[in-house]
A = this chain, B = another copy of it.
């Protein structure tokens, strides 16, 4: 990613900041402000060249005689000049900022994806505009407006696909990629996993272990992943010739710990309770485990529990959680790479990428 891209990046931006700042001390030609108010024309004057030339050395573009370059560089340091990105952006019409729309930054799953994005974007010196949407279409629209108003060059969206759907029309015209939540047919690039297959494998594993009464704790079906994973669960049951019991399908309100915890009671009250519970997310599964514990049941002795995501916590609980691992960081990295590529080439190349998942067997199932 981004081998040939260095050329696009600015050369002076981040080098020699040390000197630039230190130079303030011997800043003799005191302009009114004296603080970071140095413009390119002052550098030009100081170096005895034109602004065009300063711009050239700034951008390492075209040929500049070595001696001239040295003189300009010296002036830049002497004056403590810092490029004004606002002006540059206006001129070049690119902000080098990327929008990241995430439902909830407090959710470690999303946090890790953001870290992946950040990682991929660092080298290209893009910065991230963090937008927490809570899956709210209104807030998303509002944020997306940052794109319209030229404050960001592109966006990565982790929001539910129902929300994304609403933005369809715009999505086609704007540099926008989806991450985790996506619609293959929507014509916008995405990075995600095969949720259906992953859920199928997880359920199959439970089936293999001899469980035939498996409950499925789902979350908000506005999320594509929730629907797909349900499908996978049903696929597995069907393949095993087992009827899907409506009673075993519970839809938690939310996808956090509390939701999982309170989902347990109903399942336990059934005349024919399940022997295993498959939750669509680790946070949910953790809540389920707690709910089980509250009821005096042991995991996996009395009830097997399977999660989804493999957040750090899954390894830390007691018993540790058997779950489906998603490559969060990679998901973020790939989404970012797709966006960057689109930004570079202008052409949308609307393919998506499906990353591998894996079953992580631990203690809970």
Contact = CB atoms under 8 A, between A and B. Distances in A.
A84 B115 contact: no
A93 to B, nearest CB: 8
Interface stretch (A148-156, A190-198, A221-229): A148-156
Interface stretch (A44-52, A128-136, A243-251): A128-136
> How many copies of this chain?
2
Contacts of A108: 106, 108
Interface centre among A89, A108, A115 (most CB of B within 10 A): A89
Interface string A137-173: 0000111011011110000000000000000011001
A58 to B, nearest CB: 12
A143 B13 CA distance: 11
Closest 3 CB pairs between A and B?
A: A130-B130, A82-B148, A85-B149
Contacts of A146: 85, 127
A112 interface: yes
Query: How many interface residues does chain A have, given as a range?
Result: 35 or more
**Interface SS of chain A:** helix
Contact of A86 (B86, B129, B293): B86
A345 interface: no
Nearest to A24: B169
B150 A132 contact: no
A221 B231 CA distance: 50
Nearest to A35: B173
Interface centre among A114, A130, A312 (most CB of B within 10 A): A130
Interface string A265-304: 0000000000000000000001100100100000000000
